[in-house]
Amino acid sequence: ATVYLNGEYLPAEQAKVSVFDRGFLFGDGVYEVIPVYQGHCFELEGHLARLQRSLDGVRINNPLTDVEWSEMIQTLIDRNGGGDQAVYLQVTRGVAPRDHLFPANATPSVFVMSNPMQPIPDAFKAQGIKCITLPDIRWQRCDIKAITLLANSLLKQQAHEQGAQEALLIKDGHLTEGAASNAYIVKNGVIYTPEKNAEVLPGITRDVVLRLAEQAGIELHQQMITEAELHDADEIWISSSTREMLPVTLLDDHPVGNGQPGPVWQRLITLYQHLKQE
Ligand code: PDD
């Protein structure tokens, strides 16, 4: 595969970064994952806007303009054969002698790759996925898409080892999000999702879900969801750029609702499928 590193397109094996890169030493950087359908980025503007927000949050200057980002990303997608891909991009504070303080004049490192989109197993949509709840052990700025994913990785691994596809995270008795996804519940036909704050990533797929729900005239509230409400939900779903929207039918070994993917999820995933094919 061809990747982009600091201004150059090159074969993945030849892309090398310094051991002094602050991404490597401090996890000092931010990232985006952008879905690509039929060779075109889905919701690129939203992803670039969130990238800017994350960069501002950690005080790294954006090394490229939005036009430069989109041209480079499109070039990479084309060089990798188009079709359905997932673009991963990251910006770190750059290479500097190890010091917690920001370097005076480091150049941000930019790395971008695009790989074929991992297909979502049919069974996940037909039967739903299994989730477990775990304490949210992450830091207090989960609204920044930082590359520092140790807590997320530990949580997702723990879920996997218990046969679950995602961990739903609980903080002070309420739901925040998944280890790598946003979360929703449905009760009596109404959708609820935690509001945007420092505890959750402002998901781009979440924005799409909210838009689709509004267009479909389905009532939706962005508000706190208690652990009790989560366990009492008629439907639970997760969303992300790589997993679209998936219904959760088993939570902590108990069926969610009637144990089948629910009608509200069904309606929205149909709309989502149409949208991504436009
Ligand atoms: N993760 N919350 C967290 C903690 C995430 O890591 C992600 C996505 C989301 C969903 O955001 P979006 O809809 O913009 O993808 C929510 C990506 C896919 C990843 O880390 O691979």
At 182, is the pLDDT very low, low, confident or very high (cuts 50, 70, 90)?
very high
The atom of ligand 1 lying closest to the CA of 177 is: 2
Q: How far is the CA of 182 from the centre of ligand 1 (A)?
A: 7
Regarding the beta carbon of 242 and ligand 1, being less than 6 Å apart is answered yes
The ipTM (two decimal places) reads 0.99
* Ligand 1 centroid – CA 156 distance (Å): 12
Cβ proximity of 172 and 206 under 8 Å: no
Output the pTM of the full model: 0.98
Q: Which domains does the chain have, with CATH numbers?
A: 2-116 (3.30.470.10), 122-276 (3.20.10.10)
Q: Which tens digit of pLDDT belongs to each residue from 98-126? A: 999 999 989 999 999 999 999 999 999 99
201 lines ligand 1 (CB under 6 A): yes
For ligand 1, the distance from its centroid to the CA atom of residue 105, given in whole angstroms, is 31
Closest residue to atom 3 of ligand 1, CA basis:
180
pLDDT above 90 coverage of the chain, percent: 99
Q: Which atom of ligand 1 is nearest to the CA of 204?
A: 14
pLDDT tens digit sequence for 19-69: 999 999 999 999 999 999 999 999 999 999 999 999 999 999 999 999 999
Q: What are phi and psi of 177, to 5 degrees?
A: -165, -170
Per-residue confidence (pLDDT) for residue 278, from 0 to 100: 87
Ligand 1 and 33: CB distance under 6 A:
yes
CA dist 33 and 38 (Å) reads 16
Ligand 1 binding pocket includes 176 (Cβ within 6 Å): no
The residues carrying an active-site annotation are 145
**From the CA of 97, how far away is ligand 1's center (Å)?**
31
> 194: Cβ below 6 Å to ligand 1?
no
Residue entry with tokens 């430069």: 68
pLDDT band, very low/low/confident/very high, at 185 (cuts 50, 70, 90): very high
User: Is 241 close to ligand 1, i.e. is its CB under 6 Å away?
Assistant: yes
- Ligand 1 closest atom vs CA 88: 21
